[in-house]
Structures are given as structure tokens and as C-alpha cells.
Chains A and B, each alone.
Chain A
Amino acid sequence: MPRGVVGVPLGWGAGGLVLLAAAVLFGVSAGAASLSASDIVLHLLSLLPLDVESPLTERQAALLVELRLPRVVMGAVVGALLATAGAAYQGVFRNPLADPYLLGAAAGAGLGATAVIVFGAQISDEPRALVPVAAFAGALAGVAAAYLLGTTAGGGGTAALVLAGVAVSSFLSAVQTFVQQMGTDQLQRIYAWLLGGLGRGGWDDVRLIAPYAVTGMLVLLVCGHLLDMLALGDDKAVSLGLDPAVVRITVISAASLATAAAVSVSGLIGFVGIVVPHIVRRLVGSSYRAVLPVTMIVGAAFLVAVDIVARTVAAPAELPIGVVTAFLGAPFFVLILRTTRHRSV
């Protein structure tokens, strides 16, 4: 198979893009409101300087451009972020079950968001706008705490980091539950956020996370070949002139930044960071130079597709997207379990 610039098997990359395009097309035509696919295409063409008349009313057009499109874009961005971060964590920890939530990012974000929802009215007139910011700060703080704990108390090995992550996550979850109990009248909002969703902020949210998303993603894509060297073992990496600790910190930071960006606008959406990289590794092999970019594309397509399910199954109500990913993700774990058992025999 021919390889492209960054070592992506071109076939899989192109296949992923086709998948993403299809998901996006279905994504903009699915939803509570009934817009036909042909009308949508005609409307989008009418936005270009062509001689096309839009068949949509002003309200339908606003619905499409202000609600649907940003939601699909948000799904693609969040899916790409979570999946790529998951693949990167799995590379750093050399553990196929490592995921974006392993290092306390999710628990930190949950605590940050909950704290703002409960106490926000006392700090600002616009507490809603603070939720993503607080989630972001919480996620980064959670990862920093786990990393410090793992390197100082635990000596810095991957096992120590994972344990530190579990400890920090448990502690932050406990604090979060405690804060939640202080704001019983806000439970509904807290849970809505914790269950994850994409249909909240339109283009504003997309703009909000774009810089963090692009930064995190670019760093991870560049780090693919470093992860490949790490996979050979630390001694080998050192002999190739690489400082494993620096690579780890860089990749963990970038992956945590990506996770925090995703979590801050869409709440907690689990399993994407495990399911997608796993499928991609099956397809393209274990080289991270190939896995990371393909994971990014497939992750985007995956979450857009999951969101279509979340929007249509219970229309006109919406299922929280985190529920749908959990629904798909849990059986997937069983599959991973079975295949690992066969391999270890």
C-alpha cells in the first residue's frame, strides 16, 4: 500500500474521509426537524455565488446553518479529539485500554463544571459561559495532579501514572458528588452536562475550542513517529537520541489538552477514545504514524454517526450522546477481552 507524507496508508486515509463525508451528509439531513436532503444541498449551493434559489424558508435555513451544521462540525471535532487523544494515551502507556479519561481529565472537568453550575451565580452574572472554561481548567488540573503524583510519589513509570490517575479521578469524583449535593436544585443541569451532548452552543462553542483543538491535534500528529520509537522500549529510544520523559510529557500534555477541549463543550462522552483507535489499529497496523491520522478521521466520522442515532432514535427528544457511546462501547470491551484472551494463549 502506498504511503503518504506522514506515513498514512493512503487507502485507509481516503476511505476514512469518504466515511466522514457520508456521515456529515447524513448528519445534516437527520434531526428532529424534517428537511429533505435535496433541499439542504440546494440551500448550501445557494450560499455560493451560483444562480441557485434556496427552497428553504428563513426559519429552516437558520435551523440548518445555526443548529445542524455547527452540531455536525462539533461532533466531528470532538470525535477526532477524543479518538486521537485515546490513541496517543494508549501509545504512551502501552496499554490498549488507556483512554482520555484515565488521567483524571474527565473527573477534573466534571468537578469544574459542577462547581460552576452550583456556585456560578455567586461569581458571575453569566455562569453558563463559565462552564466550559471551568471544565477545561479542571481537566488540566486533574491531569497535572495525576502526573505530579505519579512522578513524585510513584517514580514516574507508566503503571505509577495509571494508578495516580485512578487515585486522582476517584478523589475528584468524590469531591464532585459532594458539591453536587450542595446544589440539589441544579441536579438536572449537572446530569445533562455529565451525560454529554453536542447540541448546545452552535458556532460559538466551535470557535471556543478551535485553538486548543488544532494545537493538541497538530502536536499529536507530529509525535506519531516518536511514539513509534518509544514502542521499541526506552533503552532503544535513548540510543536513538530520544528523551522518553520529554516525549511522554509532550504527548500526555497534548492529549490532555485535546481531551479538555472536547470535554469542556460536550460534557463527558466515553468509549470513543478506546473503540476508534482499536478498530483503526486492526485496519492499519500498530505504527502510530499511521494510526493517529486515520484515528482522527475515523473518530470524527464515528461521533457524527453516533450523534445521528442520539438525535433520531427518540425524536423529537434527544438521547444524551454519552449514553449512546456507552451503549455501543460496553459490548466492544467484551470483544477486546475475547480477542486478547485468544492472543495470550
Chain B
Amino acid sequence: MRIAHRLPAVLLGATLALTACGGQGEEPEPAESAEPGTDTAAATCAPPAADPDRPGVGDGTFPVTLTDATGEVTLEAAPERIVSLSPSHTEMLFAIGAGDLVEAADEYSNHPPEAPTTDLSGFTPSVEAVTEYDPDLVVMSDSTAEVAEQLGEVDIPTLVLPAAATLEDTYAQIRLLGDATGHSEDADAEATRVETEFAEVVEEVCAEAGDSGLSFYQELDETPFAATSETFVGQVYSSFGLVNIADAADDGTAGGYPQLSQEYIVEENPDLIFLSYGDEAAVGAVAERPAFDTVTAVQNDAVYLLDADIASRWGPRVVDFARLVGDAVLENADK
């Protein structure tokens, strides 16, 4: 039992953030018993409306002062040696044409292929290892904000950009990285492209499938943790008007990532199941679970394997994520 006593609750959050599943994962606490079957009304099938107060971009000149999660960060000159400790931000930097400025990226930054993946950990960053690359800008998500302070002490400007909770956050972070790298115009164009293409995917599916009212959940691991509509990935699903069975399982204490029980899933009987972990074997394992042969998603072969990277990052590839979900909806809308 000695082992089990040493479990910092924070690990769950750390793990979720590490796999870029979200920043605020907390140990699920005792929740009010949610009545199974209290379905939240299906969202309408439509792309999310734009935020009227959306921040614009600067003029791409330096010095520039930016606001990140920790406060204001001033960059005196255009950075030339960026270290990115977060896969989503690595993808954004390359998408806005600032990829050639990225000197080193963390161990999970595997996209695009030309990203300079190193053995740097974004999970437990080592300040010394980061300074080895002599960076003039470090970008990281918020799972390890105290490292930003230490980097500040050695005069390395650091941008802490938390895991996006909404698509708006993604667009804002893309534009902010544009201002930080002198690629403001490219970033503005990229953010607009992502938003437009996302909307196109959703509208196309909605036109064909209408308000299908299909229920689903996304499984983050086999224990199984799921993501509610309050999360970034949840918002992608809501755009298609799907009913998320995980919503009723979180009374606000699970931070958007409740752990579901097998019984709950069987009783809620989702039409679609998305796995954002594992491989084809994991899909087979779901069908093998006791009593899952009665679940509609299993009966209709509607257990989908998502690319774990695409489904857990909040970068430009959210459009690909939307396509995966959209295809699943189209396949099942008239069943």
C-alpha cells in the first residue's frame, strides 16, 4: 500500500496536460450523483460564433509587449532562437512561417516532420537543458509555469500559453505567436484559415446530416477518463450538434474530465465512441468489454480511433480533427 499513498493528485492533471489533453485536469472528486439518462439537450449543428471582442494582431515590429498567462512579457527584438516546450505551439509556429526560428522543440513535438524534436521534456522541463540551446524565447503551456519564473531569472523571455479551452483561444494564441515572432500578418491569415476551414467542415456535415442528435463520448484512456463539452475537444464535438454523455458525469468538480464507469457508459448507450489513445487493438478491446456488445456504437462499428496527437492538441490541425469527427457523424447519421 505504500506505493498508493504517494499519489499526488496533481499527476492526473500533469498527465493530461502532458498528452496535451488539457490543462486543468484534476482528480475527480465525489460528485453529486447525476441521474443517468438526464440527457443534456443536443447542441445545434453549427460552427461556433466568433467572439466580437476578439483581439487583433499588431504590426509585427519590436519591441513588443504581450500578455500571457503570467502577465506581461516584453520582447525587445525579434527572437531568432525559440525553444518550444509544447507540441501545439510547435505546430502553430511552423504554421505561421516561424518554423525556421525554432531551435529546439520538446520530445512530443513530432509535427510537422521538420520540427527539431529533441529529448527536452515539456512535462518536467529542465531549465538547464533549455538554456543549453541559448534561446531568446521559450514557449510553453501552463503545466509547468514555475519553470517560466526560473527562466525569467536567467533573462530568457518566456510565453506561458495555457491549453486552449475554446477555438477562440487557439486563434488568439496563433495571433499572439505571430506578434511574438514578427509574423503578425502570416499568423492572422493562418488563424482565419483555420477558422474558415473548420466552419466549412461543420457546415458541410450539418447540411447533410442535420441535427442528428447522436450521442457520443471521447475516451482519453482506458480507465476511462472522458472529456465534457466544457473542454476544447468537447467544443469541437458540440459544433456538430452531438450529445456528450460525459456532460452529466461532471458536476463541475472534474474540471471537464470526469472518469466514467463502465456501467454508466453501457446505460447511456452512446451512438459513437472516439478513442484518443492506443491503436486498433484498443478499438477491439472496447468491443470486448463486458456488456459492451449491447452498446449501439459497438453494434454499428462506430468506435473510432482518433490520432492521439490531432485529438489532444489545440493547434492548426483542429481542422483535421473536425474532419475525423464529421466523417463519423456522416457515417452514422441515418442509422
Q: CB within 8 Å of B: which residues of A?
A: 31-34, 58-60, 62-63, 65-68, 70, 101, 106-107, 110, 125-126, 128, 169, 173, 176, 184-185, 187-189, 191-192, 194-196, 199, 201-203, 268, 270-271, 311-319, 322-323, 326
Contact = CB atoms under 8 A, between A and B. Distances in A.
Interface string B262-297: 111011010000000000010001000111011100
Contact of B36 (A34, A59, A271): A34
B263 A314 contact: no
A239 B123 CA distance: 63
Interface residues of B, number: 49
B267 A63 contact: yes
B4 interface: yes
A194 B293 CA distance: 28
Contact of A317 (B4, B124, B259): B259
Contacts of A31: 261, 263
B223 A270 contact: no
28 contacts: A31-B261, A32-B263, A32-B267, A34-B267, A62-B293, A62-B294, A63-B263, A65-B291, A67-B262, A110-B3, A173-B3, A184-B123, A187-B11, A188-B12, A194-B4, A195-B4, A201-B290, A202-B289, A270-B4, A313-B30, A314-B29, A315-B33, A315-B264, A316-B258, A317-B249, A317-B260, A322-B4, A323-B4
Given A316-B248, A317-B258, A68 B3 contact: no
Nearest to A199: B262
A344 to B, nearest CB: 26
Interface string B8-36: 00011011101100000000111101111
B223 A317 contact: no
B331 interface: no
A140 B290 CA distance: 29
Contacts of B12: 188, 191
Given A59-B267, A199-B261, A316-B249, A33 B221 contact: no
A138 to B, nearest CB: 12
B1 A106 contact: yes
Contact of B263 (A67, A101, A173, A191): A67
A201 B30 CA distance: 24
B41 interface: no
A312 B123 CA distance: 34
Contacts of B19: 185
Contacts of A316: 31, 33-34, 36, 248-249, 258, 260-261, 263-264
Contacts of B33: 312, 315-316
Contacts, number: 143
A125 B7 CA distance: 29
A313 B16 CA distance: 24
A63 B5 CA distance: 32
Contact of A195 (B7, B16, B249): B7
Q: Chain A at the B interface: mostly helix, strand, loop or mixed?
A: helix
Nearest to A189: B221
A33 B3 contact: no
A326 B1 contact: yes
B254 interface: yes
Nearest to A191: B7
Q: Which 4 A-B pairs have the closest CB atoms?
A: A270-B1, A202-B290, A66-B290, A66-B291
A106 B3 contact: yes
B225 interface: yes
B335 interface: no
Contacts of A169: 2
A248 B254 CA distance: 48
B266 A317 contact: no
Contacts of A70: 290
Contacts of B121: 184
A196 B4 contact: yes
A42 to B, nearest CB: 19
B244 to A, nearest CB: 13
B261 A317 contact: yes
A188 B290 contact: no
Contacts of B76: none
B11 A33 contact: no
Interface in B27-77: 28-31, 33-36
Given A316-B36, A322-B4, A33 B266 contact: yes
A38 B28 CA distance: 32
Given A184-B15, A315-B33, A192 B223 contact: yes
B222 interface: yes
A32 B261 contact: yes
Nearest to B258: A317
A101 B1 contact: yes
B294 A59 contact: yes
A315 B259 CA distance: 10
Given A187-B14, A199-B263, A311-B261, 5 more contacts: A70-B290, A107-B2, A268-B1, A270-B1, A312-B33
A67 B34 contact: no
A74 to B, nearest CB: 11
Given A62-B266, A185-B19, A313-B30, A318 B259 contact: yes
Most chain B CB within 10 A, of A62, A65, A68, A188, is at: A188
Contacts of B254: 317
B36 A33 contact: yes
A222 B12 CA distance: 45
Contacts of A125: 281
Given A101-B1, A188-B15, A270-B1, A317 B262 contact: no
Contact of A63 (B15, B28, B30, B291): B291
Contacts of A184: 15, 18, 121, 123-124
A109 to B, nearest CB: 10
A271 B2 CA distance: 11
B255 to A, nearest CB: 12
Given A34-B36, A59-B294, A184-B123, A107 B266 contact: no
A167 to B, nearest CB: 13
A318 B221 CA distance: 15
